[in-house]
Amino acid sequence: MPMELLHDLKVPHDQDTRARQDFVSTLRGYILNDMAAGMKSRYREAVEPILTRDLGRAPATQDEVHAAMKHDLFFKFYSAVRYNAQEMVWRSVIPGIEAALPDMRAKAEALGARAGGSLTLNPELELPENVTAVDVHLMPGVYAAPDTPAAGAVYDNGLAVFSAGFMGRELNDIGMSMANYVRKRFPDFAPADILDCGCTVGHNTLAWARTYPQATVHGIDVSSSVLRYAHARAGSLGIPAHFHQMDATSLAFPDTSFDVVFSSMFLHELSVKDIKRFFAEAYRVLRPGGLLVNMELPPNQALEPYDQFYLDWDCYYNAEPFYRAFRDQDYAGLTQAGGFAPEDFLQFTVPQYTYMDDADFTDAVQRPASIDGETGRLSATLQWFGFGAWKR
């Protein structure tokens, strides 16, 4: 039985579809753990020695590793199976969603009204090219659909299959881990207004609301479709949050409106130029003493060439064309480009809040960042990577 969503927008899937979703989740787990480990040992034992011999030195860049691995049968299988699994994720949820959509559209508005949150759409907002030009992460192109919660449903149901149970029952472990890191690490910090940028279905937005129940929480996204879904989902879960259709590179909020600006798995969807624009906007809307914090994959400069190559797979094979350019950046430099001071940069790794007991999590939070080839990867020893800066 695949993981059932915990709110009233959940879509009924028939037995054959549930079995198919289970198969895809198991396949994803196999790819990311067993095949990944097999491929790494294949590299070490069979590919790296030949590459080293041909180069006359150890490989120094991920491009050298990639060029060698591209011809290797194991990589070809890994890549083809992973690509297929990605398509299978979406295909396992879309038919059920299409059948449930009329009912979902009818319910969405009423659900949204339940919890005291809000939804503010902007039909004038021009969708940026990074969302319209490509089926990002191979998700069929409904981010652009204006009048339906369909994109949110595809993302929510798809993520449940994709994450294979690694992200918690509300698919919010990233948000819970990041927000609780901040709460534990900086116990005197009491944010009153929190902004989640690129919030999609609000799964991590609500995690901040749960962690800081006194705060007012906002989420923005360029897609009205995901926001319609997010608003209804939050209402169904009984958590007030305010969703706005906005572009993070040009926020329609006044200066000094927020104490936290957050993003999760968002920066890699933007060009480096747009990341800098977003960080400048974050700086502008943060109050002094506020925090910019982003969850992402760790920077390439912290990793061996093989691990850089491994984590940039999505850039080349999963329709995430901006990933590599982002991960090649000096992350501290990115925050400085936004106006943050170098000494206010922070980066950290944090284990999964959802699956740890409180005492262990509190201990883990005090340790310095520990980045290696496993960081950010869905596995049994998962650690999320975060970085950002304080506005002083």
Partner 1 sequence: MDQILSMVLELAAELWVVRERVFILEAVLKKQGVAAAEAVETYVPTEDEKAVLAKMRAEATANIFRTLNREHKTVT
Please say whether the beta carbons of 291 and 263 come within 8 A. no
Please say whether the beta carbons of 47 and 72 come within 8 A. yes
CB nearer partner 1, residue 49 or residue 141: 49
Distance CA 272, CA 270 (A): 6
Q: Residue 226 corresponds to which amino acid?
A: V
Distance CA 32, CA 29 (A): 5
CB nearer partner 1, residue 68 or residue 111: 68
By CB under 8 A, the count of residues binding partner 1 is 21
Residue located via tokens 């799964």: 203
**Residue 373: partners with Cβ closer than 8 Å, 6 or more residues away:** 40, 303, 304, 306, 307, 310
Tell the smallest beta-carbon distance from residue 262 to partner 1 (Å). 33
Closest among 272, 270, 294, 273 to 282, alpha carbons compared: 294
For partner 1, the binding residue among 41, 250, 301, 381 (CB under 8 A) is 41
**Residue 1: partners with Cβ closer than 8 Å, 6 or more residues away:** 18, 22
CB nearer partner 1, residue 49 or residue 238: 49
Does the protein bind partner 1 through residue 59 (CB under 8 A)? no
For partner 1, the binding residue among 6, 50, 80, 192 (CB under 8 A) is 50
Tell the smallest beta-carbon distance from residue 355 to partner 1 (Å). 17
Max distance between CA atoms of the chain, in angstroms, equals 67
Tokens for 249, please give them.
């590179």
Question: What is residue 14's three-state secondary structure?
Answer: coil
> Residue 129's CB: how many other CB atoms inside 10 A?
9
For partner 1, the binding residue among 45, 126, 129, 188 (CB under 8 A) is 45
Tell the smallest beta-carbon distance from residue 29 to partner 1 (Å). 8
CB nearer partner 1, residue 77 or residue 186: 77
Which residue stretch of 34-42, 133-141, 335-343, 350-358 sits at the interface with partner 1 (rule: CB under 8 A)? 34-42
Does the protein bind partner 1 through residue 96 (CB under 8 A)? no
Closest among 135, 152, 150 to 103, alpha carbons compared: 150
Tell the smallest beta-carbon distance from residue 79 to partner 1 (Å). 12
Distance CA 156, CA 200 (A): 9
CB nearer partner 1, residue 14 or residue 360: 14
Does the protein bind partner 1 through residue 141 (CB under 8 A)? no
Provide the β-strand partners of residue 260: 194, 291
Tell the smallest beta-carbon distance from residue 73 to partner 1 (Å). 8
CB nearer partner 1, residue 50 or residue 192: 50
Distance CA 139, CA 92 (A): 12
Which residue stretch of 43-51, 86-94, 153-161, 203-211 sits at the interface with partner 1 (rule: CB under 8 A)? 43-51
Does the protein bind partner 1 through residue 35 (CB under 8 A)? yes
For partner 1, the binding residue among 10, 20, 36, 42 (CB under 8 A) is 42
CB nearer partner 1, residue 22 or residue 344: 22
Which residue stretch of 39-47, 133-141, 249-257, 381-389 sits at the interface with partner 1 (rule: CB under 8 A)? 39-47
Question: What is residue 345's three-state secondary structure?
Answer: strand
Distance CA 27, CA 158 (A): 14
CB nearer partner 1, residue 15 or residue 366: 15
Q: Which 12-31 residues touch partner 1, going by CB under 8 A?
A: 14-15, 22-23, 26-27, 29-30
Q: Which 66-95 residues touch partner 1, going by CB under 8 A?
A: 74, 77, 81
Tokens for 89, please give them.
């994720």
Does the protein bind partner 1 through residue 261 (CB under 8 A)? no
Tell the smallest beta-carbon distance from residue 41 to partner 1 (Å). 6
In order of 114, 223, 225, 231, 315, the CA distances from 238 in angstroms are 7, 22, 20, 10, 37
Tell the smallest beta-carbon distance from residue 70 to partner 1 (Å). 17
Tokens for 187, please give them.
């116990």
Please say whether the beta carbons of 240 and 234 come within 8 A. yes
CB nearer partner 1, residue 89 or residue 226: 89
Binding residues for partner 1 (CB under 8 A): 1, 14-15, 22-23, 26-27, 29-30, 34-35, 38, 41-42, 45-46, 49-50, 74, 77, 81
